[in-house]
Amino acid sequence: MAASSAKPYCCSSLNPAPSNAIARRAALSALPAAKPRRFSHGLAAVAANPRASRSAVLRPVRACLAAPRRPEYVPDRIDDPNYVRIFDTTLRDGEQSPGATMTSAEKLVVARQLARLGVDIIEAGFPASSPDDLDAVRSIAIEVGNTPVGEDGHVPVICGLSRCNKRDIDAAWEAVRHARKPRIHTFIATSEIHMQHKLRKTPDQVVAIAREMVAYARSLGCPDVEFSPEDAGRSNREFLYHILEEVIKAGATTLNIPDTVGYTLPHEFGKLIADIKANTPGIENAIISTHCQNDLGLASANTLAGAYAGARQLEVTINGIGERAGNASLEEVVMAIKCRRELLGGLYTGINSQHITMTSKMVQEHSGLHVQPHKAIVGANAFAHESGIHQDGMLKFKGTYEIISPDDIGLTRANEFGIVLGKLSGRHAVRTKLVELGYEINDKEFEDFFKRYKEVAEKKKRVTDEDIEALLSDEIFQPKVIWSLGDVQV
């Protein structure tokens, strides 16, 4: 593949198989040297011109797999078996985070951004929970659910949540029916602990309710009905197969499998999805979905395990917000699929990842929930480097410590290499910062400066540009001593 067609960053190109090393070197030698370019990879440019910047590098030979176009939406099937639908529940489950409620106007603003991001389904709320939420979901259905966005004219499905009762389902339908592609999502608990202590109903009663309410939702004219067996992760397998079979017969188009309390491990959840796919009669007539909570910090890992096992809808939230410890994080799941697509069997999504940073910031602003600095993908430190060893590697070759380009998520950072100066920074990074600020000093001056830099860095969490300039002023522009008074006699 020609170098000009390759993307600046590519997860698959960073670690080529050893068996291809000779062919890769031959391909590199056959290509012309590339001009220095931001977020480029390779060393051919430096080899061709020893005086070139050490950061001037060649684009990868092997390009990232280009994702095909989003398949046309059909409720109960996906024409491309590798396509994974992204179901965003930031406005419903995410809003259930304590203190994260949003106004109707704020929910509409976020919904517009989710559409630009390219999510397939927006779960806009729980209409039966309050008149305000019903109005908010209705507004989103009317506007966002009828407005094409992006080059492909994508219009997201607008979904409303309901319990398995007619009042909830009526409210959900009233709210979402105005959308071009409406969906009702109804649920009932299926684990023994929930049926016994919360519902106080027998398994047979639960099956009857689920079957009746799915059929009722379809009878209203809703062509797309999702069913969730709440606490599926702790439910009896045979009972799960049975209730899922019955709701498929009643008209369910998507079967969502929730790990409601974040109890399962990735291999367990993957096997759960695989077992449902293998043992549920009629499963070929519905889409399998995942909904993983983060109580053990495994929500994103479980979601990916579910996708690998055959789930083709993944329920996520922006920044992973949600009940208790939150949900699977959209940005983590989507970028993992994008970055490790080959290992995941060619899976892909319709997400425009360059909108991730903007969407994350918008949700933080409107929910009041700010992400920790070390949050994967969108945290303040996700693309920052302070260790001297890491900074040296980044300055030589960005692929040494970054598997994703900040450009891929729409992030513009303060400097090209994401370098943050502190007490762990080494000479290479500090000298690069001096050049960036426009200072040229000789080796002796630099060594004197670096000693003073280290003294300051030991006392501060970060060394700013202003600190650097102050140190340079003291070091370089201090008047030289021409003479000194040795003795005075009076």
3 state SS for 300-335? HHHHHHHHHHCCCEEEEEHHHCCCCCCECEHHHHHH
Question: Phi and psi of 344, rounded to 5°?
Answer: -90, 15
Element (H, E) at 270: helix 266-279
Q: Are residues 244 and 322 in the same domain?
A: yes
CA distance 254 to 228: 9
**Residue 158: predicted pLDDT:** 99
470-487 pLDDT per residue, tens: 777 665 445 445 555 566
Is 50 exceeded by the pLDDT of residue 407? yes
Evaluate whether residue 449 is within a structural domain.
yes
pLDDT band at 366; cut points 50, 70, 90: very high
167-194 pLDDT per residue, tens: 999 999 999 999 999 999 999 999 999 9
Evaluate whether residue 400 is within a structural domain.
yes
Q: Are residues 342 and 265 in the same domain?
A: yes
- N- to C-terminal Cα distance for the chain? 87
Evaluate whether residue 381 is within a structural domain.
no
CA distance 119 to 115: 6
Mean pLDDT of 368-391: 74
DSSP one-letter code for 399: G
CA distances from 373 to 240, 363, 381, 382 (A): 40, 16, 5, 7
Evaluate whether residue 64 is within a structural domain.
no
Evaluate whether residue 375 is within a structural domain.
no
- What residues make up the domain containing 26? 3-48
Q: Are residues 201 and 331 in the same domain?
A: yes
3-state secondary structure of 88: strand
The residue among 70 and 383 whose pLDDT is bigger is: 70
Q: How many domains does the chain have?
A: 3
Q: Are residues 107 and 220 in the same domain?
A: yes
140-165 pLDDT per residue, tens: 999 999 999 988 899 999 999 999 99
Token pair 């080899």 is at which residue? 47
**Residue 246: predicted pLDDT:** 99
CA distances from 70 to 79, 141, 151, 154 (A): 10, 21, 11, 9
Least confident range from 128-142, 331-345, 454-468: namely 454-468
pLDDT band at 27; cut points 50, 70, 90: very low
Q: Are residues 41 and 176 in the same domain?
A: no
Angle between helices 266-279 and 237-250 (to 10 degrees): 50
Distance of CA 490 to the CA centre of its chain: 79
Mean pLDDT of 395-419: 66
Which amino acid, 475?
E
CA distance 450 to 350: 48
Q: Are residues 340 and 396 in the same domain?
A: no
pLDDT band at 22; cut points 50, 70, 90: very low
Least confident range from 68-82, 93-107, 178-192: namely 93-107
CA distance 333 to 303: 7
CA distance 364 to 143: 23
Is 50 exceeded by the pLDDT of residue 357? yes
Mean pLDDT of 282-294: 98
**Residue 470: predicted pLDDT:** 75
Other CB atoms within 10 Å distance of the CB of residue 108: 18
Q: Are residues 329 and 403 in the same domain?
A: no
Q: What percent of the chain has pLDDT over 70?
A: 75
Evaluate whether residue 316 is within a structural domain.
yes
209-234 pLDDT per residue, tens: 999 999 999 999 999 999 999 999 99
**Residue 459: predicted pLDDT:** 72
Distance of CA 299 to the CA centre of its chain: 12
Least confident range from 62-71, 201-210, 286-295: namely 62-71
CA distance 243 to 232: 11
**Residue 418: predicted pLDDT:** 54
Evaluate whether residue 29 is within a structural domain.
yes
Q: Which positions ≥6 away from 176 have C-beta within 8 Å?
A: 124, 127, 137, 138, 141, 145, 158, 159, 160, 182, 183, 184, 222
Q: Are 320 and 326 spatial neighbours (Cβ–Cβ below 8 Å)?
A: yes
Is 90 exceeded by the pLDDT of residue 440? no
Q: Which positions ≥6 away from 427 have C-beta within 8 Å?
A: 388, 446, 450
Distance of CA 338 to the CA centre of its chain: 10
Q: Are residues 429 and 466 in the same domain?
A: yes
Distance of CA 319 to the CA centre of its chain: 8
Q: Are 256 and 220 spatial neighbours (Cβ–Cβ below 8 Å)?
A: no
Q: Are residues 466 and 363 in the same domain?
A: no
Is 50 exceeded by the pLDDT of residue 394? yes
CATH code for the domain in which residue 124 is found: 3.20.20.70
Is 80 exceeded by the pLDDT of residue 318? yes
Token pair 């909830």 is at which residue? 168
**Residue 104: predicted pLDDT:** 95
**Residue 450: predicted pLDDT:** 80
**Residue 24: predicted pLDDT:** 36
Evaluate whether residue 28 is within a structural domain.
yes
**Residue 289: predicted pLDDT:** 99
Q: Are residues 400 and 309 in the same domain?
A: no
Q: Are residues 358 and 407 in the same domain?
A: no
**Residue 201: predicted pLDDT:** 97
Mean pLDDT, the chain, integer: 82
Q: Are 409 and 357 spatial neighbours (Cβ–Cβ below 8 Å)?
A: yes
Q: Are residues 206 and 281 in the same domain?
A: yes
Q: What is the pTM of this model?
A: 0.76
**Residue 434: predicted pLDDT:** 76
Q: What percent of the chain has pLDDT over 90?
A: 59
